[in-house]
């Protein structure tokens, strides 16, 4: 694998060298963008709004997992976009940001969502080095770029970010990305000297994505199409070795410039990742509305998670602490489904 990654890096630089030419460029300007978000969430059935006794508070997916009024994050993106070169410093503050960069090793790196520099070698080739959000999957970390406020199982247990070197190449209507990467989500350094290979092939609104290492692979398909001026369809399907298999459809309808509704339907099977019980599956249906008031988007959302087994805890008689290392719930009341309501506000600037 290491020899293969070396060949990939040589190929990337060969493409870059052949296209290189010194040009006089104008001085770029620094831009500031980002978002802030907060939400209210309540469990309607199958769980509880007080997890102090060990009952289920939320489905086992990332973000929007608290009840009552809660914070998402503040996201501040500093970017300099020059004709030939530029950088992005994407900083996050708050619970959502902390969860997104969970493998950061220092206090300062724990606020870094993305940090990379790039070089437009030619009109068709761009090199990027640093930490960037994953190219796998349909959903992203920033709530301003997702339609649904809560996130899918496939997003939650797939990679969040990568650190490495990548080349983005346009080939007419098609695109190709090749990358050499640290272990997934090891954002600020390489912890074990191992590397992975990443690739993405895009055409006609569809992207085939993969990440490969010595003992792991994930293959992922994402696509999206405007079926009409008002109706949009998104698709995501993925397979991660010894971890999970999943698929999701995203259907959205715009009723006006300011109001739309959409539904996400996802199937997810746990094959070792530990999201739910091994070899069991879950279906989540999420109905969301997006109402925009200027730069503010209000998102009311109903979500139903349906397990193939009894796995959500709605009531119990407390904890058996006979073995402090493995506390056990006493007489838990178990359910196959969990329903919840969320009202979120996302302001993008």
Instruction: Give the pLDDT score at 52.
Output: 83
Instruction: Give the pLDDT score at 13.
Output: 53
CA distance linking residue 138 with residue 222, whole number of Å: 6
The phi, psi pair for 100, rounded to 5°, reads -75, -25
CA distance linking residue 254 with residue 230, whole number of Å: 5
Q: What is the pLDDT along the chain (349 residues), one digit of tens a residue?
A: 655 555 555 555 555 555 444 444 567 899 999 999 999 999 999 999 998 888 999 999 999 999 999 999 999 999 999 999 999 999 999 999 999 998 888 878 899 999 999 999 999 999 999 999 999 999 999 999 999 999 999 999 999 999 999 999 999 999 999 999 999 999 899 999 999 999 999 999 999 999 999 999 999 999 999 999 999 999 999 999 999 999 999 999 999 999 999 999 999 999 999 999 999 999 999 999 999 999 999 999 999 999 999 999 999 988 888 888 888 889 999 999 999 999 999 999 9
Task: Write down the architecture of domain 2-14+30-348 according to CATH.
Answer: Beta Barrel (2.40)
CA distance linking residue 102 with residue 276, whole number of Å: 20
Given a contact cutoff of 8 angstroms between Cβ atoms, the answer to whether 188 and 199 are in contact is: no
Beta strands in the chain (DSSP E): 30-45, 68-81, 85-93, 112-120, 125-133, 161-171, 174-181, 196-203, 206-213, 216-226, 231-240, 244-254, 259-270, 281-293, 296-307, 312-315, 319-320, 328-329, 333-335, 337-348
CA distance linking residue 222 with residue 220, whole number of Å: 7
Beta bridge partners of 221: 208, 237
- Reading the block at residue 128, the tokens are 């990027």
């Amino acid at each position: 694998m290491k020899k293969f990654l070396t060949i990939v890096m040589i190929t990337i630089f060969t493409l870059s060298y052949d296209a290189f030419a010194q040009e006089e460029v104008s001085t770029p300007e620094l831009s500031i963008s980002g978002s802030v978000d907060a939400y209210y969430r309540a469990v309607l059935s199958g769980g509880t709004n007080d997890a102090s006794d060990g009952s289920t508070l939320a489905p086992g997916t990332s973000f929007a997992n608290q009840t009552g009024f809660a914070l998402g994050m503040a996201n501040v993106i500093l970017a300099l976009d020059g004709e030939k070169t530029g950088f992005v410093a994407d900083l996050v503050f708050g619970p959502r940001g902390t969860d997104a960069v969970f493998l950061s090793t220092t206090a300062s790196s724990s606020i870094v969502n993305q940090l990379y520099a790039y070089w437009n070698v030619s009109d068709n080739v761009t090199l990027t080095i640093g930490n960037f959000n994953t190219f796998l999957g349909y959903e992203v970390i920033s709530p301003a770029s997702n339609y649904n406020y809560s996130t899918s199982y496939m997003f939650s247990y797939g990679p969040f970010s990568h650190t490495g070197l990548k080349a983005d190449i346009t080939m007419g209507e098609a695109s190709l990305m090749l990358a050499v990467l640290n272990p997934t989500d090891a954002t600020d350094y390489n912890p074990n000297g191992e590397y992975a290979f990443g690739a993405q092939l895009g055409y006609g609104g569809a992207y085939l994505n993969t990440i490969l290492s010595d003992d792991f692979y994930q293959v992922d398909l994402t696509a999206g199409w405007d079926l009409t001026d008002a109706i949009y369809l998104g698709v995501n399907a993925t397979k991660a070795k010894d971890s999970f298999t999943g698929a999701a459809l995203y259907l959205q309808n715009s009723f006006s410039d300011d109001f739309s509704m959409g539904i996400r339907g996802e199937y997810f099977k746990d094959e070792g990742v530990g999201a739910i019980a091994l070899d069991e599956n879950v279906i989540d249906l999420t109905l969301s509305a997006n109402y925009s008031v200027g730069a503010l988007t209000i998102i009311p959302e109903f979500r139903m998670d349906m397990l193939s087994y009894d796995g959500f805890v709605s009531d119990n008689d407390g904890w058996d602490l006979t073995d402090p290392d493995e506390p056990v719930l006493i007489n838990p009341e178990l359910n196959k489904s969990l329903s919840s309501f969320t009202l979120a506000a996302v302001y993008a600037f």
